Chains A and B, each alone.
Chain A
Amino acid sequence: MIVAEQKPLAEILHLIEGYNKLLLLGCGSCVTVCLTGGEKECEILASALRIKRRLAGKPVEIKTHTVTRQCDPEFIDELQDMVEDVEAIVSMACGVGPQYLAERYSDKYVIPAMNTKFVGGSIQQGIWEERCSLCGDCMIHLTAGICPIARCPKSILNGPCGGAQNGKCEINNELDCVWHLIYKRLAAQGRLDLLKRIIPPKDWSESRDGGPRRMIKEGI
């Protein structure tokens, strides 16, 4: 899933400065699962913003609502009535949500309340970790099901680099060196032969570097 976290409250307050009627919009998908932008967080953020603005002597009117998915025009269309009389829409979805909103309601100021971090999953209660960089050409069958593109800070395809020590990454000794993990798993599987092959340079045109990508499913 996509993992996003709320921007600091002070930053959101700064972004809504001068606006007195807002729609704060949660999203029922990924950000609900990672507990940062769903219905509950939307209500909490709205209260916090109202209190702060009241204390500052500049009360703000905030409507709240959470849609099933902000990355789907169908759910965005339904907001027509709610959007009409607000000055700005604050989105609590990943970076896709505010873009869909800005496109559909192009005369409104749309504010992102979130920082979209990565594609990953939870590793323990309350902690999420990056697992995929969306490179467009998955190759983790060669690396024991561990993605070096997303998880090595240098995206090295023939690692580990010379900075790996005690199984930890050179940039942070709390971070596992993924190439160490790859090595250990392949060793346990008796497949270290795979590491003798030189993995060729990646075709980054399948990645973001080729411009915004499109996926077409035939027969729909």
Chain B
Amino acid sequence: MLTSAGSNLERVLKSGRHVVTAELGPPKHSSPHNIIRHTKTLKGYIDAANVTDCQSAVVHMSSISAAFHIMNNGIEPVVQVTCRDRNRIAIQSDLLGAYSMGLKNVLCLSGDHQMFGNHPTAKNVYDIDSIQLIQLTRRMCDEKLFFSGAAIKEFEPKFFIGAVANPFADPFEYQVDRLEKKINAGAEFIQTQCIYDLERFARFMEMCVERGLHERAHILAGVTPLKSSRAAKFMQNRVPGISVPEEIVRRLTKAEDQKTEGISICIEQIKYMKENVKGLAGFHIMAISWEEIIPEIMKGAGICQCS
């Protein structure tokens, strides 16, 4: 029996209303100034903010500390926890600390390899992997057990546990199995990698729905507005696990105002998915270094609670 975390995100997802979450990247310095500003811009629009854990293996403020600032400024955060930098001791210690601060949602992932970041000579940890992390966090909450099996005598954490899925990773046929494995491990909500190839994503979701995975976990479709054709090409060639169809690059290249075109593409994609893709519980907008554009996209796509 899964215990309830009592998070707002959990409540809204369980109510059946479509949710919108957005990614908020912590700063590469020690001031919470920018994230607080972004939090204030997005307050009232999004249901939760996903706080990245040293994304692309570049050093940023820790996801837990940044999440704390976001929470204190009015948005419920989802704390990302990767397996790259911490062993099972450090991860559990951080989970306890996060919960003690009132952080109730976690998203478990492997993390990008350190060679992508600004410390490529670092030693990676990967003591456990993302699926093991989901399973063990689940056990802390439901069975009051540390990863080792030792008892958490009192005040066990109660997290709402999420995981990621990448419909664009290979082998394609296995991605649904792997998602099911994550759900079996105890993931209750799923965020997908940025979607550009709608056809492939639709096929992925059909398979999920066939197996009833959308009823066992809330699946949020990930979208990222592209600022320029250069950004699109970068995504296409340099970011692992993302597939950007040529057509999108072409549209951006031809556009007079690439930013506006990028926003239109993103809005069209959300609208298309809302109407045509079954099994989605909402959207996750990853507007990397472009957070202020999120309200406009939400209004344009008609997924705004306030509209």
Find B129's partner among A159, A171, A180, A204 (CB 8 Å cutoff).
Answer: A159
Given contacts A156-B110, A159-B129, A162-B193, contact A195 B170 (CB under 8 A): no
Comparing B65-73, B161-169, B199-207, B279-287, the segment that makes contact with chain A is B161-169
Given contacts A156-B126, A198-B132, A200-B132, contact A162 B110 (CB under 8 A): yes
Interchain CB contact under 8 A, B115 and A164? no
| Interface positions of B from 160 to 182, Cβ below 8 Å from A | 164-166, 168-171, 174, 177-178, 180-181
Query: Taking the complex as formed, is A118 at the interface, i.e. its CB lies under 8 A from any CB of chain B?
Result: no
Interchain CB contact under 8 A, A163 and B136? no
Find A162's partner among B128, B177, B241 (CB 8 Å cutoff).
Answer: B241
Interchain CB contact under 8 A, A153 and B113? yes
Query: Taking the complex as formed, is B31 at the interface, i.e. its CB lies under 8 A from any CB of chain A?
Result: no
Interchain CB contact under 8 A, B184 and A201? no
Query: Taking the complex as formed, is B147 at the interface, i.e. its CB lies under 8 A from any CB of chain A?
Result: yes
Complex CA–CA separation, A201 to B171 (angstroms): 23
0/1 string, A161-201, CB within 8 A of B gives 1: 11111110011000001001001100000001001101111
- Given A153-B113, A198-B184, output 18 extra A-B contacts at Cβ < 8 Å: A156-B110, A156-B130, A159-B129, A161-B130, A162-B166, A162-B240, A162-B241, A163-B112, A163-B166, A163-B241, A164-B240, A165-B170, A170-B113, A170-B240, A171-B113, A183-B174, A201-B132, A202-B127
Q: Which residues of A contact B (CB under 8 A)?
A: 153-167, 170-171, 177, 180, 183-184, 192, 195-196, 198-202, 204
Closest 8 CB pairs of A and B: A163-B240, A170-B240, A162-B166, A158-B131, A156-B129, A163-B241, A162-B241, A161-B110
Q: Which residues of B contact A (CB under 8 A)?
A: 83-84, 88, 109-113, 115-116, 124, 126-132, 135-136, 147, 164-166, 168-171, 174, 177-178, 180-181, 184-185, 193, 240-241, 243
